[in-house]
Structures are given as structure tokens and as C-alpha cells.
Amino acid sequence: MHVVYDIVLTSAPLLLAACGALISEYAGVMAVFADGCINIGAFLCFAVTARTGSLAAGIGCSAVACTGLAYGVSVLTLKLRANPFLTGLALNVFASSCISVLSAVLFGTRGVLVSPAFSFTGGGARVVSAIAAYGLCAAAAVVLRTTKAGLHLRVTGSAPNVLTARGVSPDRWKTASWCAAAAFAAAAGCVLALRLSSFVPNISAGRGWTALAAVFLGGKKLSGTLIAVLVFAGAEYAANNIQNVAAFANVPSSVLLALPYAAALVMIGAGRRAD
């Protein structure tokens, strides 16, 4: 049971990113920008909290900035009829560059950032962040399944002509899905920064892409996505702890760090065979 408990705690950041990606996918938009928003969210959470001493301000600033950025990119993408995959990738590149510049300007380094004002020791941060993550995702599931807004969002991706016939703009809901995905990715970044009590460059470590994999491996369903997230979290937990086992003590750390990605490849292969 202790292992299951740790896996559930480990899954929180990925679950948030996957939930946002699923919302975006329902609207027919692939959230390729999630990885960049995770990094921006983590950096702003650290930077604002370190400067102001207010964690609430840090989290709020992260959510607002990522949501605003996604909104702007979405509006430009829809108005210019640009390829959303390419604009999403561009957002990721912009995020990396922006973080590098701001880190150098504000803290004098592009490396790891630490601050006495941003220190959350013990397991409390992991537990609270996991509870918050699962709570947010549960709330999102309720909204998607039981509200008019959730219905419009889901119909946007499957039958946009139905919305148009009823006088509802599908583009409006596509933009809303971008904003939701960015907000959830920002929350995932905040969780990662809180758990490390610091900001590390490329803190997402590909979780935005793993979240997309979880959505597709889960059949674009809430339950399936949750199962895929837990499998990936289990692989991450194994990678972090397997060296404590005597038989694996001499295994190179690079091999162990590849376990989550190996799990992704195995699950993708299994999914293709099932199809």
C-alpha cells in the first residue's frame, strides 16, 4: 500500500497536465504547448514567490500568465488560420527563451534557482499538492460531464457544425480549451517547483508530451487517461527508487531515468496491437 500511495502522490503533476490536454483534445486541439506552459508556470511560481514572499501570488501569476499567453496564441492561430501544432511548438520555444532571459536578469543565473522564501520541506507539500491536483481534475470532470459549457466544449471537437447551427462559435470554445490546458499545465509546473523547493531549467522533463501520450493511450477518456497517468507515474517511481534494491544498485542512472519513456513506448505498441 505504501508503494501505491507514493505512486498516487508522484502522479499529481502529470495528472494535471494530462487533464488539461484532455480538455483541449475534446475541443479538437492538441495541447503541444503544455510542456512550455509547465516550465513557465514553475518559473513564475518560484520567481514571484521568492520576490513577494506570497505563494498565492506566485501560483496566481503562473496561472494568469500561462492562460493569457495561450489565449493570445490561440486567437492569432485561429485568425491567421495557422497550423496549431506549429504555433504550439513555437510557444514551447518562446517559453524556453523567455525563462532563460528572465532568470539571468532577475537572479543572475540561468541555472538552478533557490531562495529561502521558497522552501517547502517535508512530505506536506507532496500530499497537499496531490490532493489539490486530484480535486481540480475531479472538478474538471464534473464540469465536462454535467454542464452546458462542458457539452459545448466536447461538441466543438466532434461536431462543430452543430454549434454553428445553434449560433455558438466553435472557435470561442477552442480558445477556451487552450486556456484551460495552459492553466492546468501551469498548475503542474507549480507542483513540480513546490516539491523541489526550487526551479530547475527544463523542470517539465517532457511531462507535457507524456501527458499527451496518456490522453491518446487512454482513448481520450477520463478513466483511461487516469490509468495511463498512473502507469507512467509507476514507471517514474520505479526509476527513482529501484537503485535502492541491491540487485539494481549498479545499473546506470541514465537507464533508470529512461523507464518512464520505455513505459510510454510499450503502451503505445500495445495500443496499436489492440487496434
Cβ neighbours of 85 (radius 10 Å) = 13
Tell me, what's the pLDDT at 125?
80
Judged against a pLDDT cut of 70, whether residue 90 lies above it is answered with yes
Tell me, what's the pLDDT at 186?
97
Judged against a pLDDT cut of 60, whether residue 271 lies above it is answered with no
Tell me, what's the pLDDT at 252?
63
Strands (E), 85-187: none
Tell me, what's the pLDDT at 34?
95
Judged against a pLDDT cut of 60, whether residue 248 lies above it is answered with no
Tell me, what's the pLDDT at 12?
94
**pLDDT bucket at 49, cuts 50 / 70 / 90:** very high
Please name which of 124, 120, 116 lies closest in space to residue 50, comparing C-alpha atoms: 116
Tell me, what's the pLDDT at 121?
73
Tell me, what's the pLDDT at 246?
56
Mean pLDDT of the chain: 88
